[in-house]
A and B are shown apart, each in its own frame.
Chain A
Amino acid sequence: MKIVVAIKQVPARDSQLRIAGTGKWIEEADLAYEVNEPDAYALEAALQLKEKHGGEVVALSAGPARVAQTIREALAKGADRAIHIEDDTGLLDPLAAARLLAAAVKSEAPDLVLTGLQSDDLGYGQTGVILAELLGLPHATIVMQVEKLDASIRVKREMEDGWYQHVEMPLPALLTIQSGISKLRYATLMGIKKAKTKEVKRLTAADLGVTAEGSHVVVDRVYAPERSKRTQLFTGTPREAAAQLVEKLRFEARVL
């Protein structure tokens, strides 16, 4: 089974974000980046399917030069090769991102395309489904388990309130994978060494024949969220802060 995994690089989860001077995005200069967590689980699911059924795992990522690090990590964990779509435009429109990814996936003609259910930065949760539509593939989202049948797959989808559903669909197909569905593997020393010899194809939008379209959704302004509640903060030593909190819980909130 040939599997393409679309992976995004995002600012590290514990980043202290600052609004850029333009007010239209965050300050990127001093940020650390990491793999988008749900995409790490998509890669893990792909590697497990390959271990069971054979085939090939191709890591695919779009973004500027720094994305090379995330691609190296995917190769070190066991992806066979990678495609880096070099893009400096920021890709704030999920359709624009999906159009680039679709062009690269098309020439690979995989049996399965996997990606995380959403990104930790923009959080649209749409790129995978848009990609499926652009490629004309059936899809399922928020997938917990993937089981390969003869020419089809059977997946377990998560629904609200603790419900699940099994869905079957023909291959090729696209799945968006839920975070936390299995244990993530670490790259081994051998894996890290081998990654250096693996193929990384670098392509631009022009190479892929994708021309820029105007954005359909425009970020006008970013800003710190207004607080819906005013939080009373307690300071001092941990003991002092705890004592003040208990006092408030007893005599103001009256919950103790």
Chain B
Amino acid sequence: MRILLDVKRCEGHGVCAETAPELFRLDDDGELVVLFDGDEIPAGQEDASASAVRVCPVGALRRQP
């Protein structure tokens, strides 16, 4: 399973970073930083990634098999 970030849509609300702190964080300028390499969701982060997709208020995250 992969997780895709639509950079144009992301507005740096940072709700995903609170829900899935192992996957995302906001830097001091409010830009989203992806904390894993590539698109593949790291092992053990399936649920967190699904939650991150759901909480994004601008629909900037999406999961893809």
A and B interact: no
Q: Tell me the B residues contacting A by CB distance below 8 Å.
A: none
